[in-house]
Amino acid sequence: MAKKSFSAAAGLISLTILLASAGPLAAEEALHRVWAVKDCRLIVPGKPALDKATVVIRDGLVEAAGQNIAVPADAEVIDGAKLTLHPGLIDALGQSLLKLPEEKFDPAKFYSGEFTDKDRGITPELKAFDYVALGKATLEKYYKLGLLAAQVIPSKGVFTGQASFFSLSSEDKNKALVLKDNWLGLGYSPASFMVYPNSLMGVVALLRQEFADASHFGLSASRWSKELKGLSRPAYNSRHESLLDYAAGQKPVVFFCNNQHDILRSLDLAAELGLDALICDLGSEAFKVIPELKKAKARVLCTVAFKAPPSSLQSQLGKTEKEKAEKEVYPKNPVRLAEAGIPFAFSSLGTDDPKSFMEGVEKAVEAGLSRDKALEALTVTPAAFLGLDKALGTIEPGKIANLVLVEGDALAKEPKVKTVFADGLKFEFKDAKAKEGEKPTVNVSGRWELNMPEAGLKVTVDFTQEDSGLSGKMTTPFGAFDFTGGNVSGNEIYFEMNISVGGQDIDLYFSGTVTGDNMRGTAVQGTQGSTEFTGKRNPS
The DSSP string of 442-482 is ----EEEEEEEGGGTEEEEEEEEEETTEEEEEEEETTEEEE
- Distance CA(176)–CA(174), nearest Å, equals 6
Is 201 one of the binding residues for another protein (CB under 8 A)?
A: yes
Choice from 17, 25, 34, 264 touching another protein (CB under 8 A): 264
Taking the least distance from each CB to another protein, the nearer of 190 and 486 is: 190
Only segment of 258-266, 349-357, 379-387, 517-525 that touches another protein (CB under 8 A): 258-266
Greatest Cα-to-Cα distance within the chain, rounded to the nearest angstrom: 94
Is 220 one of the binding residues for another protein (CB under 8 A)?
A: yes
Contact of 363 with 331, CB cutoff 8 Å: yes
Only segment of 79-87, 163-171, 217-225, 293-301 that touches another protein (CB under 8 A): 217-225
Only segment of 144-152, 175-183, 204-212, 489-497 that touches another protein (CB under 8 A): 204-212
Taking the least distance from each CB to another protein, the nearer of 20 and 212 is: 212
CB of 84 to another protein, least distance (A): 21
Number of residues engaging another protein in binding (CB under 8 A): 42
Only segment of 19-27, 133-141, 261-269, 473-481 that touches another protein (CB under 8 A): 261-269
In whole angstroms, what separates CA 426 from the centre of its chain? 19
SS3 state at 82? coil
Taking the least distance from each CB to another protein, the nearer of 111 and 515 is: 111
In this structure, which long-range contacts are made by residues 453-461, counting pairs with CB atoms below 8 Å and at least 24 apart in sequence? 453/532, 453/534, 454/18, 454/22, 454/531, 454/532, 455/11, 455/14, 455/15, 455/18, 455/19, 455/531, 456/10, 456/11, 456/14, 456/18, 457/11, 457/14, 457/15, 461/535
CB of 160 to another protein, least distance (A): 17
CB of 93 to another protein, least distance (A): 22
Taking the least distance from each CB to another protein, the nearer of 258 and 347 is: 258
Is 213 one of the binding residues for another protein (CB under 8 A)?
A: yes
Is 205 one of the binding residues for another protein (CB under 8 A)?
A: yes
Site string (304-343) toward another protein, x via CB under 8 A: -------xxxx-xxx-xx----------------------
Is 271 one of the binding residues for another protein (CB under 8 A)?
A: no
- Distance CA(525)–CA(24), nearest Å, equals 11
SS3 state at 194? coil
Q: Which amino acid type is present at position 68? A: N
Only segment of 10-18, 172-180, 203-211, 388-396 that touches another protein (CB under 8 A): 203-211
SS (H, E, C) 38-78: EEEEECCCCCCCEEEEEEEEECCEEEEEECCCCCCCCCEEE
User: What is the enclosing helix (H) or strand (E) of 174?
Assistant: helix 173-176
Only segment of 187-195, 274-282, 422-430, 479-487 that touches another protein (CB under 8 A): 187-195
| CA dihedral sign, ordered 113, 118, 119, 121 | positive
CB of 249 to another protein, least distance (A): 17
- Distance CA(513)–CA(525), nearest Å, equals 19
Q: What are phi and psi of 304, to 5 degrees?
A: -130, 20
Taking the least distance from each CB to another protein, the nearer of 60 and 185 is: 185
List of residues 6+ apart from 48 with CB closer than 8 A: none
Only segment of 205-213, 338-346, 421-429, 530-538 that touches another protein (CB under 8 A): 205-213
Choice from 194, 443, 480, 500 touching another protein (CB under 8 A): 194
CB of 317 to another protein, least distance (A): 4
Neighbours of 269 (CB within 10 A): 18
Is 225 one of the binding residues for another protein (CB under 8 A)?
A: no
Distances (CA, A) of 107 to 111, 113, 199, 527: 8, 10, 20, 46
Is 204 one of the binding residues for another protein (CB under 8 A)?
A: yes
Choice from 239, 261, 336, 473 touching another protein (CB under 8 A): 261
CB of 207 to another protein, least distance (A): 10
CB of 414 to another protein, least distance (A): 14
Contact of 332 with 304, CB cutoff 8 Å: no
Choice from 5, 199, 237, 441 touching another protein (CB under 8 A): 199
Is 236 one of the binding residues for another protein (CB under 8 A)?
A: no
Choice from 2, 74, 111, 439 touching another protein (CB under 8 A): 111
- Distance CA(40)–CA(63), nearest Å, equals 16
- Distance CA(40)–CA(55), nearest Å, equals 8
Alpha helices (H) along 286-393: 290-295, 313-316, 319-328, 333-340, 354-366, 371-377, 380-385
- Distance CA(192)–CA(194), nearest Å, equals 7
Is 113 one of the binding residues for another protein (CB under 8 A)?
A: yes
CB of 286 to another protein, least distance (A): 15
Choice from 180, 223, 233, 294 touching another protein (CB under 8 A): 223
- List residues near another protein by CB under 8 A: 110-113, 120, 188, 190, 193-205, 208-209, 212-213, 216, 219-220, 223, 227, 231, 261, 264-265, 311-314, 316-318, 320-321
